[in-house]
Structure 1
């Protein structure tokens, strides 16, 4: 059978329990004489105690709601008064902090501006020194070309006249010195360019920081002028969030301090580099003058040595020609000896060959047979020894011929070597370089 659709009223825990008439139990009902025919009408209705209890619950809820509304109005009135006072105090305090912040921003802005001007002036001075380095580097092209030309001219001497003599060492030392100077000047130019770039980068960093400070000063100054009567204020609920990359007052001040400190370091490095450039140009000029004198002295000494070397080589050539004649005669004797021994060998081998046709039992290993075999072996050993000696003599003759050709070639190129050292190299050195220190100031 269907149950009632309306639920029982809720019971408020804080209210006192209703009258005890609501506690009557529905299960104690008198039985009807009508039996099962009246069962549906009985179960579909509330009992009287339930009706009273529901009415009491509704009245209690209405009373509770009224009390809560009255308390809420009192609290709202107090909150409005408190919020107005707090908002006024908060705005005044924010205005004071903004004023202090403007002073801090102005201080760092002026410090950055001063540093920017000083760094720019130092960069210009370093750029002038860099120009001196470039002019000095250009001035080393002539001495380097002279040294390289001397080395290349002396490379045209034909072997074995290509010796690493004192002239070679001094020229190599001169070329290495000029290369080292050029490399040092190039490295210093690169260092100066790097320092100039660092100066400008740091100047740019300071300028960016200074620009941010100027913009921030204008923003905070505008914020300081805002009030509740301003017409350009709007609601920005999302602005109360702190940015993830926001700085702290300490890190903010440290950032500008670090920029200024790095700018001071770059200025100090720039001043030290300018002093180093002066020393490099002066020392390089002195080293080149001393090395030029050493090379010229080595050339004079070596030209005298060339004449003596040529005379000694001619004496050795005469002795080699005599040895070649003796060796050719020795080869002729060896060839004749080999032909003689081969004739004896042919006789012995022919005898052994003919005796190999002896019939039947006559093919005997008799004493003549053993003697012929020993003779062939002895002659073969002598022939092989003579051939080896002939090969050795022919190789000796070949070596003597090669030595003769080398000596003749050496003597032939000796005059050319003297011409190269005296005429080509020393004649080219008369256009040796100007002073680097003076050249670095030329326009």
Structure 2
């Protein structure tokens, strides 16, 4: 600090300095011989000592006042230098503080901008994953309609093929699996939508903070450019105060730190959700693929069983048709044999009838009579046996015909079951999506 100039030594007045300045007091005047005529002229005059004291007092007062003024000028000069240096230092310190503040603002502004860009990119990735979920959900509609159609088609099977077989169990399992996958995809879509909304809310908070930082940076950058030569500076006495809602440097930094921390948490939750979505779509696709393979294997196995059963029934039907032909021929032979035996019986009975007309003693039980009777009895026995056999053969033919009808019905039932399983069900399952994971990427 510059030292103030020393004051010049005082100039000593030529008149003697009394120790004390005293006021002029009236004293007794010597009586004049003139009496009352001179009284009025003598009342305002001083004695010589009084005059000297009066002059000395005026000189001392002038000296004291000059000395005090000179000392005041030195103090003023010193104060001006000190005030100028202090103001310069204060302005420089304020400018340096504003510069540091600008660096802090720039740091947080860059961090917030980085977080905003990363959160925006992560939100876009999550939106794409949500779109995959929606496409995967749409892709499950075809498999579900295929399964329901298969179950409804198989309800049109005819007894006794209308059974709860392995195919139906696998189809029911597939329908339950698709319903579970659809429910899971719907819940995950809602979760993704909630996370997207949280990401955007936090991004908006960071953007507001970033916007405030940009505005504040511009204000402080403008403030750091102010100087005593600036033309747009003026007095603002009311600005020298702290706002009630003003933050502290610690709370100010903590606010941006909390925004970035929450953004990081939302970003981490979004990344984890995207990974979960990938796993869900992959696992669902694998489960559907394996179940589809199980259903196809069950259909193939059941169709082979139906083919084998149908072939066996057709083989039996072929044999039954042959047996029916043989039985019909046998019945014809039996009828012919009966007719032939009836012709012999008629001859024998006619002979007996005619011989019963022999007169008197000629009505003899001779050997021809016995032979004719034996012949009639033998033919009767054979005819009865042939007729019983004919009845048995006709019953056998009836049974064969009923069996033929049953076999033909069974073959028709098997053919209907094969048509339903192979043509309707397996043919419709060609529309089944190849891969749910691939379908989630398709437009």
TM-score, normalization by structure 1: 0.50
Structure 1 residue 178: deviation in Å? 0.9
Q: Secondary structure in 2 aligned to 1:19?
A: coil
In structure 2, relative to structure 1, the CA distance for the partners of 1:347 and 1:207 (3 Å cut) is farther
Structure 1, 208-217 or 4-13: larger mean CA deviation: 4-13
Structure 1 residue 306: deviation in Å? 11
Q: Secondary structure in 1 aligned to 2:6?
A: coil
Distance 2:374 2:35 in 1: 160
Structure 1, 156-165 or 281-290: larger mean CA deviation: 156-165
Contact 1:139 1:434 survives alignment (8 Å): no
Distance 1:378 1:18 in 2: 204
Q: Secondary structure in 2 aligned to 1:88?
A: helix
Structure 1, 94-103 or 330-339: larger mean CA deviation: 330-339
Matched residue count? 443
Partner of 1:234: 234
Structure 1 residue 123: deviation in Å? 3.1
Partner of 1:183: 183
1:169-220 alpha-carbon deviations (Å, 9 max, x no partner): 4333212211222222233333333333333333332222222111111101
Contact 1:22 1:53 survives alignment (8 Å): yes
Structure 1 residue 102: deviation in Å? 1.3
In structure 2, relative to structure 1, the CA distance for the partners of 1:113 and 1:25 (3 Å cut) is closer
Structure 1 residue 221: deviation in Å? 1.6
1:72 aligned onto 2:79: no
Structure 1, 399-408 or 109-118: larger mean CA deviation: 399-408
Structure 1, 256-265 or 222-231: larger mean CA deviation: 222-231
In structure 2, relative to structure 1, the CA distance for the partners of 1:111 and 1:431 (3 Å cut) is closer
Structure 1 residue 291: deviation in Å? 1.6
In structure 2, relative to structure 1, the CA distance for the partners of 1:435 and 1:75 (3 Å cut) is same
Contact 1:108 1:256 survives alignment (8 Å): yes
Contact 1:310 1:414 survives alignment (8 Å): yes
1:186-335 matched pairs, under 5 angstroms: 186-296=186-296
In structure 2, relative to structure 1, the CA distance for the partners of 1:438 and 1:342 (3 Å cut) is same
Structure 1, 71-80 or 253-262: larger mean CA deviation: 71-80
In structure 2, relative to structure 1, the CA distance for the partners of 1:420 and 1:216 (3 Å cut) is same
Distance 1:61 1:358 in 2: 215
Distance 1:382 1:174 in 2: 69
In structure 2, relative to structure 1, the CA distance for the partners of 1:50 and 1:107 (3 Å cut) is same
Q: Secondary structure in 2 aligned to 1:21?
A: coil
Structure 1, 264-273 or 162-171: larger mean CA deviation: 162-171
Distance 1:368 1:72 in 2: 195
TM-score, normalization by structure 2: 0.50
1:250-279 alpha-carbon deviations (Å, 9 max, x no partner): 111111122222233333333333333332
Structure 1 residue 307: deviation in Å? 14
Partner of 1:428: 428
Q: Which runs of 5+ in 1 are unaligned?
A: none
In structure 2, relative to structure 1, the CA distance for the partners of 1:124 and 1:53 (3 Å cut) is same
Structure 1 residue 145: deviation in Å? 0.8
Distance 1:241 1:195 in 2: 43
In structure 2, relative to structure 1, the CA distance for the partners of 1:171 and 1:334 (3 Å cut) is farther
In structure 2, relative to structure 1, the CA distance for the partners of 1:102 and 1:432 (3 Å cut) is closer
Structure 1, 23-32 or 91-100: larger mean CA deviation: 23-32
Structure 1 residue 238: deviation in Å? 4.0
Q: Secondary structure in 2 aligned to 1:20?
A: coil
Structure 1 residue 284: deviation in Å? 1.3
In structure 2, relative to structure 1, the CA distance for the partners of 1:308 and 1:82 (3 Å cut) is same
1:209-256 alpha-carbon deviations (Å, 9 max, x no partner): 222111111101222233455432344444344333321101111111
In structure 2, relative to structure 1, the CA distance for the partners of 1:362 and 1:217 (3 Å cut) is farther
Structure 1, 324-333 or 95-104: larger mean CA deviation: 324-333
Contact 2:310 2:411 survives alignment (8 Å): yes
Distance 2:34 2:374 in 1: 164
Contact 1:126 1:270 survives alignment (8 Å): yes
Structure 1, 151-160 or 122-131: larger mean CA deviation: 151-160
1:125-181 alpha-carbon deviations (Å, 9 max, x no partner): 333333333332222121011122234456678999998765554333212211222
In structure 2, relative to structure 1, the CA distance for the partners of 1:2 and 1:241 (3 Å cut) is closer
Structure 1, 224-233 or 342-351: larger mean CA deviation: 342-351
Contact 1:345 1:380 survives alignment (8 Å): yes
1:359 aligned onto 2:362: no
Structure 1, 363-372 or 44-53: larger mean CA deviation: 363-372
Q: Secondary structure in 2 aligned to 1:58?
A: helix
Structure 1 residue 109: deviation in Å? 1.4
In structure 2, relative to structure 1, the CA distance for the partners of 1:224 and 1:27 (3 Å cut) is closer
